[in-house]
Amino acid sequence: MKMKKHRISAVDPDGIGAELGIEPGDLLLQISGKPVRDVFDYRYLLNEEYVTVTIEKENGEVWELEIEKEYEEDLGVTFESGLMDDYRSCANRCVFCFIDQMPPGMRETLYFKDDDTRLSFLQGNYVTLTNMSKNDIDRIIEYRMEPINVSVHTMNPDLRCAMLRNRTAGKALEKLDTLYDAGITMNGQIVLCKGLNDGSELEYTLEQLKRYIPVMQSLSVVPVGLTRFREGLYPLEPFGREDARQVLRIIHSWQKRFFEEFGIHFVHASDEWYILAGEELPEEERYDGYLQLENGVGMLRLLEREVMEALEKRTGDDRIRKAVIATGQLAAPFLQGHVERICKKYPGVQANVVPVINNFFGPQITVSGLITGGDLITQLKGRLEPDMVLILPCNMLRDGEEVFLDDISLADLEKELGVKTIIADSDGESLVNAILDPDTDRVRKRRQSYEQADRGDRGQA
């Protein structure tokens, strides 16, 4: 195997690397005499109490560092590429691909289609298995890279080939058996497309996936997202209210069967289905521990509990606050109910929720994470008072930066609207804190959803 050199971009001053004289700009060559292909080799080879690390200094010197440490202790270094390798792009041309529905002229990273098993493990991305070689499978099993998140979509091989527009997509499903036999924990996902993999095809898929329970621990069903930029693409149609009710009837029926046989509900509908159908969200117990929050499964139910728990810890007082929470149309009615609870306990607090219509991608896109700075400015300008704070969910911003999808910065937004902006994390306690304690510094978190990072600072490798 050809030796790869991995450039170190930062060193934790309190870590092992700093103690041994490793510096930014140094190159990692080997660990215990073995080449390091990527972040998984790095982590796996370091999982020993005694290791030898080969470093090339910027002046060309090569250091052999013998290290005694805790079993899973890291060197405390960050690499220029968080993956320590090139990102693996998608070989499919899915009829429902969201990236194909992006307008031209946006930043380059928004158009990258990843289908990389390593990102499934690191970031929770979903992979189709079509890019996965035997060597990839062997490494997953050897390194216990789990859970692996799989975009199943359908268990009908011919239909899967047609939906992914990849002649190998049907056969790739056989890799589920290999992962299952090795006991690699999996989560599944179905992007449901009207007239393609819904109805009887959805029933067939659920029947076929039954054999992977409980190694496959959950399956989410989400409606296809359709933007207004679909000219020349496959003619997909949006789901209507009765369509959503039929989808929920199928899912609820199978939840009952799965729970009776396995003690878990396994298949879960994203929150969008319940809102579209006009039905109540499931009780918390039916979410099996919220394994699919990143797919919008149970987010609204969990948020309700978190808000209630946060309020129970507090004693109401007479503080004065004015706040506006801007979010997508999907969550707005639910957030408004939580805001009213907060205001009832704190009578001096005036807060309301503004649902933002997604004019950029089209009004059928209702999630907050796809709202642009331009839509916020257009719809909020003139509606805010100088003494108000504007609260936005953190998933509107690019990961690690204060930039919206359309490259408008948070500073530009504040200047245009003339108000202070608070970026709140996605949990209920953060919402309560943002309204009641807007001056408190807080660490913001978000997970990558639609954009592939072009930076190497995704945290320590």
Please give the pLDDT value at position 461: 32
Q: Where are the alpha helices (DSSP H) in 16-116?
A: 16-19, 39-46
Please give the pLDDT value at position 116: 58
- Determine how β-strand 389-393 pairs with β-strand 321-328: parallel
DSSP states of 204-244: HHHHHHGGGTTTEEEEEEEEPP--S--TTS-------HHHH
Please give the pLDDT value at position 115: 61
Structural contact between residues 9 and 23, judged by C-beta atoms closer than 8 angstroms: no
Exposed, middle or buried, 135 (CB in 10 Å: 0-12/13-18/19+)?
Answer: exposed
Please give the pLDDT value at position 1: 55
Q: Which domains does the chain have, with CATH numbers?
A: 6-79 (2.30.42.10), 99-297 (3.80.30.10), 303-436 (3.40.50)
Please give the pLDDT value at position 2: 64
Q: Which residues contact 57 (CB under 8 A, 6 or more apart)?
A: 23, 26, 63
DSSP states of 416-447: HHTSEEEEEPSSHHHHHHHHH-TTS-------
Please give the pLDDT value at position 456: 29
Q: What is the pTM of this model?
A: 0.83
Please give the pLDDT value at position 176: 97
For residue 426, give the nearest of 282, 316, 285, 299 by alpha carbon: 299
Please give the pLDDT value at position 426: 86
Please give the pLDDT value at position 39: 83
Block means of pLDDT (10 residues each) for the chain, 461 residues, are 84 92 94 89 88 94 92 87 74 89 83 64 76 86 89 97 95 96 96 97 98 97 94 94 98 98 97 95 95 92 95 93 94 93 95 96 92 96 92 87 92 94 92 87 43 31 32
User: Residue 137 is inside which H or E element, if any?
Assistant: helix 134-143
Across-strand partners of 63? 55
Please give the pLDDT value at position 342: 95
Please give the pLDDT value at position 447: 36
Exposed, middle or buried, 79 (CB in 10 Å: 0-12/13-18/19+)?
Answer: buried
Q: Which residues contact 224 (CB under 8 A, 6 or more apart)?
A: 96, 191, 192, 193, 194, 236
